Structures are given as C-alpha cells and as structure tokens.
C-alpha cells in the first residue's frame, strides 16, 4: 500500500501541503512529495484539483456480505429507564433501514425490562430482541459484550448502532474487537451510499473543526457509535393491528414478566417467548460461561446536582468572567429557571469554582443542547470544541471581540452581572423591563 | 522478584486544532506544524510514574516497578518518547514501520498488543481516554479485549494496587463506580486523575542521552495485512470542514433592553 503523487499532473500548488495536519507533504521542485509522516487520512486526495494524489495497493477485494441484513440498534438501558439516545438511534436506524429496504431491529439487555417495550415500538422498530437476566443488572461491559457478540453472530445485522455514551464507548469497542470488524466513533451523521449500499459514517475530529467520513471495509456489521442529542427522535404512527394501537401491548406483559423471572435449576438459561404480535422475541442464551472480570464495589451519584450535562436541553455555562465560586449561584438560578444545568469553562474548573464534571470542551464534556448560554467565556478553541454543535448559542461577554461571538447565534456585549439578574427577574416575575 | 512493568501508551498528535479556512479556495489551512504528546497521555505518564513511586514506598509491597512508554508512529514521534522519559518514565520503545501508517483503532490496538507481549511481567497498561485527532477512545478497550483482560475507562482514582489486583474508581456519565479487578489490566485516564509534574533536570538529561529502540513489523511478527491501512476495517474516505454559514445577531441597547430582548428570544425559540 502506498500513497503516490502523479508528477505529470501535479502543479505544485501546495493546497495539499496546507491541508495536511501531519506535516507529511513537502513541495520539492514544484512537485508535492509525501514523506513518512503520512497517516493516510485522505485529506490531500480530496483537495487536489488535479487528482494527482492516489492511494494504491489497497486490496479492494470486496467480500460477499449478502448474508448480513438489516439495521440493529443497541437499546441502552440505565437503571429504571431507556437512554434517550436509543430512541434517537431507532429513528435514524429506521431511515437507514428504509433506504436499504431492510428491517430495523432493537436489542435490549437488562433485568426486569418489560415496562420499556411500548415506547420502543413507537420509533419504527420492526422487531425487538430481548435478553432479560439478572446478570445484566449492573451494566458490566464484559458480560454485555459477550451477549452482544452472540446476538450479532446469530442475526448478522449489516449495520449495528449504539449510543456514544460512557457505557457505549467502552462496551462497543470490545464487541467490535471480538467480532473483528470496524467501529466508527461518535458519529454525528449517517447515510447510505446509494450505489454501493454501504454506510457512510461522518464524525467530527480535530476538536470538532473537521468532519471525516468513514466507511467499514472488508468486514460486517458496519458498527458505529452515535453522539447523543444529534439525531432527531421521531415517532412513527403504529398501524392498527400491527403490534398494538397507541403503543399498548396486545399481550399481557405481566404474564411474560413471570415467565422470564423463572429461576430454578437451570436459571442460567434465559427463557424465550414472544409477544407484541410476535415482534418481541426473548432470546435464549447460554450464559453459564458468562463470568465477569469486574467486582463492582460501589456506585455513587456525583454529589450535589446531577452532573450529566448531556441530559439537559439547556446549559448555562460560566467562565473566568464569573469571578468566583459564589457567583455560580446566579447561573444556577438562571439554569433552574430554564430547566437546564450549569456548565463551565476550564478556567472556571481549574480555579476550583466548580467541579470537573461541569467542564465543557476538548478536555471536558462535548455537549449539544438546544440552547447553550455562555457567560463570561472568551470562546477559546478548546472550549468551542465541546459546544459548537449546540442548536442555539447565546453569548454574554463584555468584550465585543471575544471569539465566542464567532460561533454564537445571539450575542450580547455587556456585563453579565447586570444582564443575568434582570433576565432572571423577567422570567420569574413577568414584568416587562422596558417601562413606558 | 522480577520488576513489575507498567506500560504507558502515548500518541503524537498535531499541536493544534486551530484550523483556518482559506476564503478563496474554501479549504482548510492548518496553523503551526509542531506535534505534541496527546494531552490525556500526559496524565497516563504521570499516573504510571506515581504508581511506581507508590508501590516502591509501600512497606507492604516494596515492589520494584519499571515504567515503559510506547508509541506507534513515524520516526519523528521519538521526540514524545524522550519527553516521557524526562517526565519520569524509565525507558521507551518506538514502534515504527512505513507499513503501520493509516492504522485504524483495530490495527493500532493489535500492533500495541504485539509490542506489549514482548515484555515479561507487565501488569498494567495505562492509556489516555482519547486523542486529539482520531478522538475515538477505542484503542484502550480494543487492546484490553485482545488480551482478554479487564479494562476500566475514565479512571479517576486508583485506591489500591499491588502485584495482582487493584481497586479503581471511574467517572461514568453521572456516577462514580468503584471496581476491584485482577491484574494484568488496562485503564484509561483523563485530567481528573492527577496533575502532571514538570520535567526534572535529571529527567531531561536522561531523555537526551537515552537510546530509544525502534521495533518494526518484523520484530513484532506482524504481517502486512494485519497492520496499517491494509489491516484496518475502517477507512477515512473524506475529510471536510463543516459548513459555517453563520451569522451572529447582536442584541444591543442598555442592559434592560438587552435582557428584555433576550427574554423575547428565549420565548420565541421555545426555550422558555
Ligand atoms: C490542551 C488544552 C485543553 C483545554 N481544554 C479545555 C476545555 O475542555 N474546556 C475549556 O473551556 N477550556 C479548555 N482549555 C483552556 C482554553 O484554552 C481557555 O484557556 C479557557 O477555555 C478559557 O476560559 P474562559 O473563557 O472562562 O476564560 P478567559 O479566556 O479568561 O475569558 C473570560 C471572558 O470573560 C469575559 N468577562 C469578564 N468579566 C465579564 C463580565 N462581568 N461580564 C461579561 N463577560 C465578562 C472576558 O471578556 C473574557 O472574554 C484547554 C487548553 C489546552 C491547552
Ligand atoms: C480524522 C480521523 C478519523 C478517524 N476515525 C476513526 C474511527 O472512527 N474509527 C477507527 O477505528 N479509527 C479512526 N481513525 C484512525 C485512528 O485515529 C487511529 O487508529 C489511531 O491510530 C488511534 O485511534 P485514536 O487516535 O482514536 O486513539 P484513541 O482510541 O482515542 O486513543 C486512546 C489512547 O490509546 C493510546 N494510543 C492511541 N494511538 C496510539 C498509538 N499510535 N501509539 C500508542 N498509543 C496510542 C493513547 O494512550 C491514547 O490516549 C481516524 C483517524 C483520523 C485521522
Ligand atoms: S494539491 Fe495536487 S497539484 Fe497541488 S501540489 Fe498537491 S498534488 Fe500537486
Ligand atoms: S493522506 Fe493525510 S497525512 Fe497523508 S499526506 Fe495526505 S493529508 Fe497528509
């Protein structure tokens, strides 16, 4: 395998040199020359107007993947509820399945699950596979990985999607490693190539400044983790007679809950059965060799308010301009009024004004809420990396040249200590601020 | 007793993500070309060195530890290995071969695995939680799976450790989880685990004089079809800049007007 420049067409325009992030191109005697720093990222190939750069010697021996069919979504279950990203993935998976003319299936692992089914069928799921067993209670990734590998081997989906949550991003790589297939991380857009019928997986890299489209070659399923809150959650009308109207089950769930909690001598075989007009299938799995390598000693919620920033539609973030820990109370008040959560820049976290789980940015959380309100944050590139894909960005900063305004949809040049209290008052008491 | 080995995996990444757009050609122009240690990997280095100090000073264990840094990359990534030595790592190995280029996370993990196998009595692999460029965070769990050893990602605190087991706490989305695991194992770390030290003078000197061995595909016993782009299941087919047809609307006036208009906007956007 080799990357080559066709010297007969190269004009030495150095576009490729400028685009290469790895300092892998030199212009020697008006021709591009690629050195050993090249990581084959493909950026230069795309940019060259003369099609002078080519990667050769890559075996294109496409294997026959015709036995792999359908789109399967891993439905992530956190104690008590289904992660929202799972519904987003079902909605997206439905589009992909339609484009390919195949089925959308869900795989749900957990313990005592039946209450979650009705919702799952609202998003176009054709079939739901369930493995309901005590061993899945603690979300231990090695147990989950073993089970998912068996499911994938059995049903051979062409595409397998999971949420890029903390759990998904440790679990799914293990599954991919066992199956021996590719995995694209943290995608923000998925599409089917209309000709080749393969999955085009697009994801932000280099701190969100560049998008890369990735394909899975020579292996199936095509696996991707998808960033939460990016795909649109879209319910689909359930046709009457097709798995219950209004998402109500046709079959009494309690009956099944009973049949699956059967313990007894062979309790390491999950019971199988069906309901929802045959659309829920309990999978029987030999779990006798499912031993975990982890001993979970303790789980504790982060103290204070819940800190999973990505769970919120509104984030009110503060930076060095907040001035001190006590002033975060002001942001909290605004966040509460908007049903949101407080975020922070690294400068605020490093000053110990607020704890690390609140940090947004390259070395903190990547968030994409409906609204991100940045208060007293300058908008350093590392901060932008974590929030620039938010739907609406509002920036309050006293410096009109602050870079945050370059990504903001609405900007206010002013003192946050004047504006925010007024805004809170306006929300709470409803009196128009502009009298006369 | 034979020295325990802790392997720290580090990656060289472009020194900046600052990318400008050339308005004429609408293409990206990268700024600055220097390369650096991936930010999270500096915490991995620090944790390795701290564990060494801790195991040695613990009267119960008095365990001798050797911390070894490895990286897979072009020859110029030798510089980050020297930097790792200046920060307290005992020795380093560069995995470099033209055929490694273009590796996806799978091929990277496999190459690292074959390198780590060559050390005897390694007990722990420490990685960064993700990189600046590829930014997948997949190499750690894939590597651990290849070895079939436990992997704890996002580790925030190592509460206990000895030759055979460790207790480690990690930060998952909204909760901390504490696990006991057997060694060998792998963990990935971010900035919550420690504050990296600055290089010592002695470290700098050692870094300058150290011979850094280079292992190629032959030494790792890897065939071409398992490594680099050829051995990769994923392939980047296109890189482009997100559309930034973006205009900011400034809300002007005095604080009262600004707050009032912002209130109106929040209503209009159904945020309120
Ligand atoms: C490897 C690396 C990783 C990093 N990762 C992150 C990351 O994950 N997240 C992150 O945020 N940063 C990160 N940083 C740090 C980043 O470069 C910046 O230093 C940081 O984001 C600055 O935070 P800030 O905007 O709060 O502070 P500053 O840049 O100091 O900005 C403060 C702003 O507040 C404004 N201001 C002050 N008073 C008021 C007032 N009364 N009313 C209104 N505005 C006011 C000022 O005009 C100024 O614009 C990283 C840096 C590096 C090198
Ligand atoms: C734009 C772009 C997008 C990409 N997207 C994907 C993708 O979606 N899926 C995919 O499989 N590959 C992808 N790759 C390839 C991927 O970047 C490489 O496989 C890379 O070698 C390792 O992956 P990472 O940078 O994501 O590392 P991560 O998994 O994020 O790194 C975690 C830790 O692993 C260790 N580590 C990583 N690389 C090395 C190394 N070379 N030497 C030593 N230790 C290391 C470090 O401790 C690091 O902190 C992409 C590459 C580019 C340029
Ligand atoms: S972009 Fe194409 S023509 Fe321009 S220097 Fe590079 S290879 Fe040559
Ligand atoms: S493929 Fe990527 S790394 Fe290689 S020369 Fe082109 S732009 Fe640079």
CATH value of A309-429 in 2.60.40.10, 3.30.470.10, 3.40.50.1220, 3.30.1130.10: 3.40.50.1220
Residue to test with chain A: of B153, B259, B267, most A Cβ within 10 A: B259
The phi, psi pair for A115, rounded to 5°, reads: -65, -15
Which residues surround ligand 2 with Cβ inside 6 Å?
A 39, 41, 182-185, 203, 205, 212, 214; B 9-11, 38, 40-41, 44, 70-73, 103-106, 108, 112, 127-128, 130-131, 133-140, 234, 236
CA distance A342 to B5: 42
Looking at residues A159-169, what average pLDDT do you find? 94
Strand partners, B12: B37
Residue A21 at interface with chain B, using a CB cutoff of 8 Å: yes
- Closest partner residue to A177 (CB to CB) among B146, B175, B230 is B146
Reading the block at residue B76, the tokens are 């110029």
Q: Is the dihedral of CA A410, A416, A422, A428 positive or negative?
A: positive
- Give yes or no on whether A2-56 and A309-429 have one common fold: no
Q: Which ligand is nearest the CA of A397, by number?
A: 1
- Count of other CB atoms within 10 angstroms of residue B213: 11
Q: Which residues of A211-232 are buried (b: 16+ CB within 10 A; e: fewer)?
A: bbbbbbbbbbbbbbbbbbbbbe
Q: Are the beta carbons of A419 and B255 separated by less than 8 Å?
A: yes
List chain A residues with CB under 8 Å of B150.
142, 293-294
> Lowest-confidence range among A97-106, A172-181, A304-313, B34-43?
A304-313
| Average predicted confidence (pLDDT) for chain A | 85
CA A323 to ligand 1: nearest atom: 38
Domain boundaries, chain A: 2-56, 71-289, 309-429
For residue A296, give how far its alpha carbon lies from the nearest alpha carbon of chain B (Å).
5
Residue to test with chain B: of A210, A362, A364, most B Cβ within 10 A: A210
- Closest partner residue to B259 (CB to CB) among A219, A381, A419 is A419
For residue B265, give how far its alpha carbon lies from the nearest alpha carbon of chain A (Å).
9
Closest Cα partner for B133 from B3, B249, B39?
Answer: B39
Radius of gyration of chain A (CA): 25
Domain assignment of residue B246, yes or no: no
Separation of CA B248 and ligand 1 centre (Å): 20
Q: Which ligand is nearest the CA of A418, by number?
A: 1
Closest Cα partner for A44 from A28, A29, A56, A55?
Answer: A55
Q: CATH no. for residue B92? A: 3.40.50.620
pLDDT tops 60 at residue A200: yes
pLDDT tens string A332-345: 999 999 999 999 99
> Lowest-confidence range among A152-161, A294-303, A372-381?
A294-303
Reading the block at residue A9, the tokens are 């067409």
pLDDT tops 80 at residue A239: no
Domain assignment of residue B244, yes or no: no
List chain A residues with CB under 8 Å of B105.
173, 183, 185
Q: From start to end of chain B, where are the E strands?
A: 4-9, 12-14, 19-22, 27-30, 35-37, 65-72, 91-95, 122-128, 151-161, 165-172, 175-182, 185-189, 214-215, 234-240, 249-251
pLDDT at position A260: 35
Side-chain-side CA neighbours of A163 within 13 Å: the count stands at 26
By the 8 A CB rule, do B56 and B63 touch?
yes
Domain assignment of residue B232, yes or no: no
Residue B95 at interface with chain A, using a CB cutoff of 8 Å: no
pLDDT tops 90 at residue A14: no
Mean pLDDT in order along chain B per 10 residues (272 residues)? 91 73 52 78 97 90 91 94 97 96 94 96 96 92 96 95 94 86 96 92 94 96 91 86 73 93 92 86
By the 8 A CB rule, do A206 and B133 touch?
yes
Task: Give the B window 234-263 contacts with A, CB below 8 Å.
Answer: 234-242, 246, 248-252, 255-260, 262-263
pLDDT tops 50 at residue A269: no
The phi, psi pair for A169, rounded to 5°, reads: -75, -15
- Closest partner residue to B265 (CB to CB) among A299, A410, A413 is A410
As separate numbers, helices (DSSP H) first and strands (DSSP E) second, chain B gives 6, 15
CA distance A50 to A45: 9
Residue to test with chain B: of A2, A35, A169, A215, most B Cβ within 10 A: A169
By the 8 A CB rule, do B40 and B131 touch?
yes
Q: From start to end of A121-221, where are the E strands?
A: 127-132, 159-163, 183-187, 189-192, 199-205, 210-216
List chain B residues with CB under 8 Å of A370.
269, 271
CA distance A187 to A190: 7
- Count of other CB atoms within 10 angstroms of residue A295: 14
Q: What architecture is domain A2-56?
A: 2-Layer Sandwich (3.30)
For residue A37, give how far its alpha carbon lies from the nearest alpha carbon of chain B (Å).
5
For residue A132, give how far its alpha carbon lies from the nearest alpha carbon of chain B (Å).
23
pLDDT tops 90 at residue A376: yes
Looking at residues A204-225, what average pLDDT do you find? 87
pLDDT at position A23: 84
Domain assignment of residue B249, yes or no: no
CA distance B208 to A283: 59
Q: What is the distance in angstroms between the CA of the first residue and the CA of the last residue of chain A?
A: 75
The phi, psi pair for A251, rounded to 5°, reads: -110, 145
Q: Is the distance from the beta carbon of residue A19 to the nearest atom of ligand 3 less than 6 Å?
A: no
pLDDT tens string A19-67: 787 888 999 999 999 988 888 888 888 788 888 998 877 665 567 888 9
The phi, psi pair for A20, rounded to 5°, reads: -75, 120
CA distance A100 to A161: 15
Q: Are the beta carbons of A411 and B250 separated by less than 8 Å?
A: yes
Reduced to 3 states (helix: H, G, I; strand: E, B; else coil), residue A342 is strand
Looking at residues A179-193, what average pLDDT do you find? 94
Reading the block at residue B49, the tokens are 């060195």
For residue B158, give how far its alpha carbon lies from the nearest alpha carbon of chain A (Å).
13
Q: Which ligand is nearest the CA of A208, by number?
A: 2
Total number of domains constituting chain B: 1
Confidence of residue A266 (pLDDT cuts 50, 70, 90): very low
CA distance B207 to B91: 9
* Cα angle: B238, vertex B243, B245; to 5 degrees: 165
pLDDT at position B132: 85
For residue B245, give how far its alpha carbon lies from the nearest alpha carbon of chain A (Å).
10
By the 8 A CB rule, do B129 and B154 touch?
yes
Q: Are the beta carbons of B239 and A433 separated by less than 8 Å?
A: no
Q: Which ligand is nearest the CA of A374, by number?
A: 1
By the 8 A CB rule, do B112 and B73 touch?
no
Side-chain-side CA neighbours of A158 within 13 Å: the count stands at 23
Separation of CA B105 and ligand 2 centre (Å): 5
Domain assignment of residue B266, yes or no: no
List chain B residues with CB under 8 Å of A207.
17, 132, 135
Confidence of residue A84 (pLDDT cuts 50, 70, 90): confident
Looking at residues A249-266, what average pLDDT do you find? 35
CA separation, residue A65 to residues A87, A94, A218, A280 (Å) = 27, 21, 9, 26
Interface A-B: count of C-beta contacts within 8 A: 302
Residue A301 at interface with chain B, using a CB cutoff of 8 Å: yes
Q: Which ligand is nearest the CA of A206, by number?
A: 2
List chain B residues with CB under 8 Å of A159.
none
Confidence of residue A180 (pLDDT cuts 50, 70, 90): very high
Strand partners, A392: A371
Radius of gyration of chain B (CA): 22
Separation of CA A14 and ligand 3 centre (Å): 5
User: What is the separation of C-alpha A158 from the centre of its chain, rounded to a whole number of angstroms?
Assistant: 19
User: What is the separation of C-alpha A177 from the centre of its chain, rounded to a whole number of angstroms?
Assistant: 19
What residue's CA is closest to ligand 2, atom 3? B134
Residue B233 at interface with chain A, using a CB cutoff of 8 Å: yes
Looking at residues A289-314, what average pLDDT do you find? 80
Reading the block at residue A337, the tokens are 């009024």
Domain of residue B120 covers: 3-226
Confidence of residue A356 (pLDDT cuts 50, 70, 90): confident
CB-count burial class (<10 Å; 0-12, 13-18, 19+) for A273: middle
A71-289 falls under which CATH superfamily? HUPs (3.40.50.620)
How many residues belong to chain A?
436
By the 8 A CB rule, do B55 and B183 touch?
no
Reduced to 3 states (helix: H, G, I; strand: E, B; else coil), residue B81 is helix
Find where tokens 């490594």 sit. Answer: B227
pLDDT at position A364: 85
Task: Give the B window 28-47 contacts with A, CB below 8 Å.
Answer: 28-30, 33, 35, 39-40
Residue A371 at interface with chain B, using a CB cutoff of 8 Å: yes
């Amino acid at each position: 395998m080799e990357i080559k420049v066709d010297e007969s067409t190269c004009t030495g325009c150095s576009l490729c040199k400028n685009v290469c992030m790895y300092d892998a191109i030199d212009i020697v005697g008006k021709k591009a020359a690629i050195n050993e720093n090249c990581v084959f990222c493909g950026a230069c190939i795309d940019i060259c107007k003369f099609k002078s750069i080519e990667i050769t010697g890559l075996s294109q021996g496409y294997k026959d993947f015709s036995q792999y069919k359908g789109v399967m979504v891993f439905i992530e279950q956190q104690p008590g509820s289904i992660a929202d990203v799972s519904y987003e993935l079902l909605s997206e998976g439905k589009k992909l399945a339609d484009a390919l003319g195949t089925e959308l299936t869900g795989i749900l692992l957990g313990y005592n699950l039946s209450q979650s089914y009705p919702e799952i069928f609202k998003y176009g799921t054709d079939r739901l596979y369930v493995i309901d067993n005590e061993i899945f209670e603690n979300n231990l990734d090695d147990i989950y990985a073993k089970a998912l590998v068996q499911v994938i081997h059995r049903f051979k989906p062409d595409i397998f999607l999971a949420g890029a949550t903390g759990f998904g991003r440790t679990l799914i790589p293990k599954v991919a490693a066992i199956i021996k297939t590719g995995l694209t991380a943290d995608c923000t857009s998925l599409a089917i190539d209309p000709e080749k019928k393969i999955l085009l997986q697009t994801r932000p890299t280099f701190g969100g400044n560049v998008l890369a489209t990735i394909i899975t070659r020579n292996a199936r399923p095509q696996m991707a983790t998808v960033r939460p809150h990016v795909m649109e959650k879209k319910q689909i009308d359930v046709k009457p007679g097709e798995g219950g109207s209004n998402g109500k089950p046709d079959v009494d769930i309690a009956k099944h809950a009973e049949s699956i909690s059967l313990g007894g001598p062979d309790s390491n075989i999950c019971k199988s059965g069906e309901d929802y007009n045959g659309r829920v299938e309990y999978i029987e799995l030999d779990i006798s060799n499912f031993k975990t390598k982890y001993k979970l000693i303790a789980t504790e919620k982060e103290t204070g308010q819940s800190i999973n920033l990505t769970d919120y539609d509104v984030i009110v973030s503060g930076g060095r301009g907040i001035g001190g820990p006590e002033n975060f109370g002001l942001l909290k008040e605004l966040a509460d009024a908007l049903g949101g959560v407080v975020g922070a820049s690294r400068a605020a976290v490093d000053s110990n004004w607020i704890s690390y789980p609140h940090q947004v940015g390259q070395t903190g959380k990547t968030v994409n809420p409906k609204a991100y309100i940045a208060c007293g944050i300058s908008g350093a590139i590392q901060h932008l990396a974590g929030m620039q894909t938010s739907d609406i960005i509002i920036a309050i900063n006293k410096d009109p040249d602050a870079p945050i305004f370059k990504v903001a949809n609405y900007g206010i040049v002013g003192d946050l200590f004047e504006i925010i209290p007024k805004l809170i008052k306006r929300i709470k008491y409803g009196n128009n601020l502009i009298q006369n | 007793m034979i020295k325990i080995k802790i392997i720290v995996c580090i990656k060289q990444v472009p020194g900046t993500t600052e990318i400008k757009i050339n308005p004429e050609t609408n293409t990206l122009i990268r700024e600055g070309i220097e390369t650096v240690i991936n930010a999270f990997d500096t915490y991995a280095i620090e944790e390795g060195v701290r564990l060494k100090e801790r195991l040695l000073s613990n009267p119960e264990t008095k365990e001798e530890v050797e911390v070894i840094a490895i990286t897979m990359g072009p020859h110029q990534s030798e510089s980050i290995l020297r930097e790792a030595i200046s920060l307290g790592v005992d020795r380093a190995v560069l995995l470099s071969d033209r055929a490694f280029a273009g590796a996806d996370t799978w091929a990277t993990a496999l190459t690292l695995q074959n390198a780590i196998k060559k050390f005897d009595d390694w007990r722990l692999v420490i990685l960064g939680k993700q990189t600046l460029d590829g930014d997948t965070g997949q190499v750690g769990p894939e590597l651990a799976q290849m070895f079939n050893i436990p992997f704890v990602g996002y580790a925030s605190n190592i509460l206990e450790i000895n030759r055979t087991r460790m207790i480690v706490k990690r930060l998952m989305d909204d909760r901390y989880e504490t696990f006991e695991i057997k060694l060998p194992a792998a963990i990935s770390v971010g900035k919550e685990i420690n504050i990296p030290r600055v290089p010592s003078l002695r470290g700098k000197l050692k870094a300058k004089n150290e011979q850094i061995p280079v292992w190629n595909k032959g030494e790792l016993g890897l065939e071409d079809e398992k490594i680099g782009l050829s051995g990769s299941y994923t392939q980047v087919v296109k890189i482009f800049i997100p559309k930034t047809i973006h205009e900011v609307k400034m809300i002007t006036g005095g604080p009262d007007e600004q707050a009032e208009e912002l209130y109106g906007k929040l209503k209009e956007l159904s945020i309120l």
